[in-house]
C-alpha cells in the first residue's frame, strides 16, 4: 500500500540527489544471496619481494608497456618451445589456500610483508550468452592489482572491504586465469599507517567469487526505516546496465503484505518509500528479519532485512524509541579456531557466541571492517554493531590521497552493510591526535558518512585528558566531539595510567550533552598466571582493573555503554615480552586457546545484573 504528497516528493528528490552524488561506483551489494561461482580453494602463488614480476630491470611497470614482456607475471607466460626463456611458472609453483592470510599458512611467510602473486585458473560457461560476469573480492590486504587473462582489470587499496571488476568481455569458456598481485607493505601515507597494534596479515583474506548477472541487473539498494518515521521504509534501488532508464522494479515484503513497484529515472535509480503500521521491529531481544524481494526483469534478489530505528535522545541512545545500555566488548577479526585472520562463518559464530556468553548485546568490531559473516550473524543473533574505518593513530592528515583512500574504504563498508539492522554506529577513527588537519579530515569523513547513510550514528574512539590540568578530573577536550552523535573514548586507568586503585581517585567532567560510550578499557593477563592483584600480568590484576573500572565509570552521568578491550588475546608484533606476551596482546578476557580469565566473569556478572 503506497501514499505520496508534495513534501514527500521533495524528500525523495533530496534522497536521490544525495545518493547520486555519493554512491560508490558499481559495488555489487548482497552477493550473499546472488548466484555465484566460488573461486575459493587452492591458488598458485609466487613470493616476489623485489616485485620482479611487476617492474622490468629499469623499474618500469610492465603493465604500462604496449606488449608487456614475458617477464610480466600477469601474462602467465609459458615457454613456446625449448629455446624460450621464461623465468617463472605459476603452475609449477606452490599452492596456498584462499581465503586466508599467507602468514599462518607458510612458516617462511610468517613475518613477510611485501608482494605475493596469486593465480587461479578456471573454466566458466555462462548460463545465457547475453549475461555479464564480475569477479568479486570480499577483501585483499592491502593493495591488489588484478589481471584477467593477461589484461589489467584494476587496482584496489584497503585490506578490509569488498570490490569487484567486470570480466564479461575477457571471459573464455575454458582456461581463464585470474592473477592478483597482493602487496601488504605498510606505508606512512596508507590507511592504516605504519604502526598499529595488530598483526598485518597479508593475502586474499576473504572469499573470491564470480557473479553472473543479466545484462541489466539490480546492482545496489538501500532499504531501511526512516529514522524520523518508523512506519516509513525508505531507500533506493540502483540498476546497472545499458537499458535501465524508466524501468519497473518490483519490491515485495510478503510478511508485511507489501507488493509494489517503483520506476527508475534516467540513471536507472528509483527511490523506495513504503508504509506499514504492522512492522515487527528488529531489536536485540527480537532480531526479526523480513524477507525482502526485489525483481527487475528476470533478475530477482532476496535479502533478509530488519527494520529498527537508532537515535540519540540527549544523553541517551534509543533503539526503537526506547533507551538501551550497550553491553559490549571489542573484537579483532582473528580466528579463535585456526589463529590467523578470521574469514569464515564458523570464526564469526565462535566470536559472537562468546560475546553472547559474556552477556553482550553489542560488539565493537575493531579497528577495521570485519567480514560480512559477522554483521549478517549479528543481524540474526540480535547483537548491535559498531563498525570502524582503519583511520588509526597518526595518519597522514594533509595527504589528499590518504583522505581519498580513507573515504573510499568508508564508502565500501557502508555500501556493503547499509541494509544490516545490527549495524548502528559508524566509527571514523581510533585514538587520533587532535590537530587542525586531523579535525578537517575526520569532519569530512563524518559529512561523507551522513550523506551516504542518514539512518545511523557517527562516532570515533577519542582520547581523554585532564580537566584544566587536574589529573584527578578527566574530560574530553577534542573539537571532533562536537561532530559525533555518540561521544566515545578509550581510557586505561589502572593499566597504562597508574594502578587499579587509581580508578577510585578519578572523577569525570564530560561537558558534552551526548551519550557516552567507553570504547576501550582493560588490562593484560597471561591466562593461568595467578598472584596478588598488584602483580602485573596475573588474572587477579586484570580482574581488579575490571572491578575498579566498572565502579569508576558509574560516575559518568552520560554513560550509555562500553566495549572493553578485548574479547580474545590477539597477535601483535608490538608485544614481545617473553613467556607473557610472546607476540600477543594479552588484554583478552579469553586466551588465544579459548580459556576464560577471571575478569570474564566480572564483566559477565555486571552485564547479567544490568537489564
**DSSP state letter for 312:** E
Smallest distance from the beta carbon of 581 to ligand GCU, in angstroms?
11
343-372 residues in contact with ligand GCU (CB under 6 A) are 367
Q: Which helix (H) or strand (E) holds 372?
A: helix 372-381
What are the residues whose beta carbons fall under 8 Å from the beta carbon of 72, sequence distance 6 or more?
53, 54, 62, 63, 65
**70 versus 430: smaller Cβ distance to ligand GCU:** 430
**158 versus 192: smaller Cβ distance to ligand GCU:** 192
193-222 residues in contact with ligand GCU (CB under 6 A) are 197
d(CA 451, CA 309): 17
For 345, how many CA atoms within 13 A lie in the half-sphere containing its CB?
4
**224 versus 335: smaller Cβ distance to ligand GCU:** 335
Q: By CB under 6 A, tell whether 520 contacts ligand GCU.
A: yes
Q: By CB under 6 A, tell whether 565 contacts ligand GCU.
A: yes
Q: By CB under 6 A, tell whether 584 contacts ligand GCU.
A: no
d(CA 594, CA 335): 11
Contacting ligand GCU (CB under 6 A), which of 459, 490, 560, 563? Answer: 490
Whether residue 291 contacts residue 253, with contact meaning beta carbons closer than 8 Å, is answered with yes
Smallest distance from the beta carbon of 333 to ligand GCU, in angstroms?
13
d(CA 436, CA 112): 36
Smallest distance from the beta carbon of 520 to ligand GCU, in angstroms?
5
**335 versus 430: smaller Cβ distance to ligand GCU:** 430
**420 versus 571: smaller Cβ distance to ligand GCU:** 571
Q: By CB under 6 A, tell whether 587 contacts ligand GCU.
A: yes
Number of residues that bind ligand GCU (CB under 6 A): 9
d(CA 292, CA 221): 11
d(CA 334, CA 104): 11
**490 versus 542: smaller Cβ distance to ligand GCU:** 490
**138 versus 197: smaller Cβ distance to ligand GCU:** 197
User: Helix and strand tally (H, E) in the chain?
Assistant: 7, 33
Residue nearest to ligand GCU (CB): 197
**195 versus 595: smaller Cβ distance to ligand GCU:** 195
Q: Compute how many other C-beta atoms are within 10 angstroms of the C-beta atom of residue 608.
A: 12
Task: Give the three cell numbers for residue 3.
Answer: 501514499
340 Rama sector, left if φ>0, alpha if ψ -120 to 50, beta otherwise: left
Q: Compute how many other C-beta atoms are within 10 angstroms of the C-beta atom of residue 173.
A: 9
**15 versus 584: smaller Cβ distance to ligand GCU:** 584
Smallest distance from the beta carbon of 489 to ligand GCU, in angstroms?
10
d(CA 132, CA 140): 23
Task: Give the three cell numbers for residue 276.
Answer: 506499514
Smallest distance from the beta carbon of 390 to ligand GCU, in angstroms?
11
**162 versus 564: smaller Cβ distance to ligand GCU:** 564
Q: Would you call the peptide bond into 72 cis, given omega within 30 degrees of 0 as the criterion?
A: no
d(CA 370, CA 75): 33
Report strand pairing: 176-183 vs 229-240. unpaired
275-304 residues in contact with ligand GCU (CB under 6 A) are none
429-458 residues in contact with ligand GCU (CB under 6 A) are 430-431
Q: By CB under 6 A, tell whether 409 contacts ligand GCU.
A: no
**DSSP state letter for 75:** G
CA-wise closest residue to 251 among 270, 228, 229: 270
Smallest distance from the beta carbon of 508 to ligand GCU, in angstroms?
18
Smallest distance from the beta carbon of 148 to ligand GCU, in angstroms?
37
Smallest distance from the beta carbon of 52 to ligand GCU, in angstroms?
35
Smallest distance from the beta carbon of 94 to ligand GCU, in angstroms?
33
Smallest distance from the beta carbon of 405 to ligand GCU, in angstroms?
20
**201 versus 565: smaller Cβ distance to ligand GCU:** 565
CA-wise closest residue to 518 among 383, 287, 362, 335: 362
Q: By CB under 6 A, tell whether 334 contacts ligand GCU.
A: no
Smallest distance from the beta carbon of 335 to ligand GCU, in angstroms?
18
Q: Which parts of this chain interact with ligand GCU (CB under 6 A)?
A: 197, 367, 430-431, 490, 520, 565, 585, 587
Amino acid at each position: 500500500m503506497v501514499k505520496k504528497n508534495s513534501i514527500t516528493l521533495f524528500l525523495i528528490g533530496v534522497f536521490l540527489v544525495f545518493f547520486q552524488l555519493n554512491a560508490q561506483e558499481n559495488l555489487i551489494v548482497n552477493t550473499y544471496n546472488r548466484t555465484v561461482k566460488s573461486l575459493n580453494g587452492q591458488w598458485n602463488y609466487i613470493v616476489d619481494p623485489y616485485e620482479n614480476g611487476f617492474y622490468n630491470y629499469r623499474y618500469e611497470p610492465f603493465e604500462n608497456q604496449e606488449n608487456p614482456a614475458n617477464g610480466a607475471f600477469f601474462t602467465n607466460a609459458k615457454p613456446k618451445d625449448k629455446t624460450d626463456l621464461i623465468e617463472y611458472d605459476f603452475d609449477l609453483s606452490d599452492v596456498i589456500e584462499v581465503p586466508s592470510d599467507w602468514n599462518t599458512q607458510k612458516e617462511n611467510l610468517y613475518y613477510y610483508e611485501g608482494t605475493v602473486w596469486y593465480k587461479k585458473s578456471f573454466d566458466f560457461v555462462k548460463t545465457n550468452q547475453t549475461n555479464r560476469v564480475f569477479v568479486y573480492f570480499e577483501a585483499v590486504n592491502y593493495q591488489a592489482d588484478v589481471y584477467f587473462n593477461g589484461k589489467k582489470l584494476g587496482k584496489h587499496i584497503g585490506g578490509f572491504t569488498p570490490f569487484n571488476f567486470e570480466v564479461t568481455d575477457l571471459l573464455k569458456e575454458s582456461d581463464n586465469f585470474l592473477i592478483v598481485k597482493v602487496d601488504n607493505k605498510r606505508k606512512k601515507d596508507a590507511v592504516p599507517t605504519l604502526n598499529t597494534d595488530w598483526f598485518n596479515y597479508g593475502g586474499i583474506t576473504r572469499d573470491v567469487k564470480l557473479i553472473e548477472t543479466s545484462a541489466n541487473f539490480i546492482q545496489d539498494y538501500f532499504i531501511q526505516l526512516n529514522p524520523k518515521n518508523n512506519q516509513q521504509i525508505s531507500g533506493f534501488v540502483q540498476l546497472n546496465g545499458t537499458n535501465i532508464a524508466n524501468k519497473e522494479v518490483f519490491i515485495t515484503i510478503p510478511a508485511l503484505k507489501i507488493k509494489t513497484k517503483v520506476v527508475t529515472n534516467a540513471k536507472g535509480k528509483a527511490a523506495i518509500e513504503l508504509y506499514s503500521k504492522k512492522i515487527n521491529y528488529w531489536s536485540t531481544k527480537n532480531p526479526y528479519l523480513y524477507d525482502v524481494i526485489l525483481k527487475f526483469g528476470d533478475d530477482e534478489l532476496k535479502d533478509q532485512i530488519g527494520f529498527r530505528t537508532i537515535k540519540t535522545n540527549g544523553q541517551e541512545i534509543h533503539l526503537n524509541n526506547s533507551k538501551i545500555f550497550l553491553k559490549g566488548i571489542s573484537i579483532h577479526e582473528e580466528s579463535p579456531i585456526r589463529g590467523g585472520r578470521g574469514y569464515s562463518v564458523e570464526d564469526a559464530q565462535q566470536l559472537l557466541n562468546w560475546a553472547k556468553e559474556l552477556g553482550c548485546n553489542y560488539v565493537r568490531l575493531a579497528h577495521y571492517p570485519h567480514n560480512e559473516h559477522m554483521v549478517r550473524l549479528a543481524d540474526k543473533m540480535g547483537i548491535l554493531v559498531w563498525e570502524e574505518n582503519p583511520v588509526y593513530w597518526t595518519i597522514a592528515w594533509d595527504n589528499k590521497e590518504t583522505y581519498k583512500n580513507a573515504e573510499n574504504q568508508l564508502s565500501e563498508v557502508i555500501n556493503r552493510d547499509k541494509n544490516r539492522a545490527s549495524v548502528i554506529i559508524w566509527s571514523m577513527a581510533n585514538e587520533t591526535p587532535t590537530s587542525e588537519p586531523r579535525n578537517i579530515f575526520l569532519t569530512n569523513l563524518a559529512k561523507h558518512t551522513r550523506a551516504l547513510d542518514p539512518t545511523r550514528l557517527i562516532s570515533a574512539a577519542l582520547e581523554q585528558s585532564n580537566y584544566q590540568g587536574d589529573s584527578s578530573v578527566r574530560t574530553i577536550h577534542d573539537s571532533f566531539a562536537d561532530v559525533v552523535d555518540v561521544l566515545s573514548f578509550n581510557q586505561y586507568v589502572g593499566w597504562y595510567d597508574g594502578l587499579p586503585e587509581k580508578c577510585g581517585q578519578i572523577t569525570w567532567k564530560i561537558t558534552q550533552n551526548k551519550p557516552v560510550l567507553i570504547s576501550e578499557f582493560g588490562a593484560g593477563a597471561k591466562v593461568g598466571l595467578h598472584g596478588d592483584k598488584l602483580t602485573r600480568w596475573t588474572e587477579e590484576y586484570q580482574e581488579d582493573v575490571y572491578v575498579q573500572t566498572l565502579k569508576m565509570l558509574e560516575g559518568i552521568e552520560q554513560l550509555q555503554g562500553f566495549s572493553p578491550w578485548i574479547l580474545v588475546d590477539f597477535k601483535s608484533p608490538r608485544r614481545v615480552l617473553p613467556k607473557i606476551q610472546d607476540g600477543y596482546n594479552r588484554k583478552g578476557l579469553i586466551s588465544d586457546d579459548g580459556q576464560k580469565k577471571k575478569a570474564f566473569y566480572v564483566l559477565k556478572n555486571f552485564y547479567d545484573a544490568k537489564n
